[in-house]
Amino acid sequence: MSNLVRIIISSFILIGTVALFWFGQWEWGILGVLITILAFVTVFFNENMLLAQWFMRKQDMNKAEKFLKRITNYEAQLIPAQHGYYHMLIGLIESQRAPLQSEKYFKKALQMGLHMDHNIALAKLSLAGVAMAKRNKRDAEKYLNEAKKADKNKLLADQIKMMKDQMGMMDRQQIRYSR
């Protein structure tokens, strides 16, 4: 459903809610306010994206992917601020299946723009993991340092430290094999 249709439906619901209050139907009016808020929220946040994020938090990647696949043309169905998040969610799902294939989605997410620092840090941390899997230490270190800078609230500090430790182990193994 396009955003214009959502705005029109939300406006009619709002007019109906005002009419309910006007005629003294307070109980139905309060319910109408809640429905109006829900309808206006779907104008700015696509319901499939919201449900996909919710299922990702519950670690149910299959359902999250199902809701993301319902978005057939993300440029038309999502507001521009959500384009980066759409690619990031696909990248997170793809990283469970084929980690090396997820790189293009994380790069596209960063290119299109992520607005929250912890999401930028997560995308860069994921790119560092892909670079490590490709045995590209220089890129992995670059992405890890960028992730550390972007993680201002230290939400991913443990994961960043763990990945640095893994890089150290990778270096030690490389030295051992080169002897």
pLDDT for res 176: 62
Please report the pLDDT score of residue 99 as a whole number: 83
The pLDDT score that the predictor gives to residue 179 is: 56
Q: Which two tokens stand for residue 32?
A: 């109408």
Q: How far is it, in rounded angstroms, from Cα 103 to Cα 116?
A: 20
Nearest to 151 by CA among 112, 169, 125: 125
pLDDT at residue number 174: 64
In this structure, which long-range contacts are made by residues 113-118, counting pairs with CB atoms below 8 Å and at least 24 apart in sequence?
113/81, 113/83, 113/84, 114/84, 114/85, 114/88, 115/81, 115/84, 117/150, 117/151, 117/152, 117/153, 118/150, 118/151, 118/152, 118/153, 118/155, 118/156
What parts of the chain have a pLDDT lower than 50? none
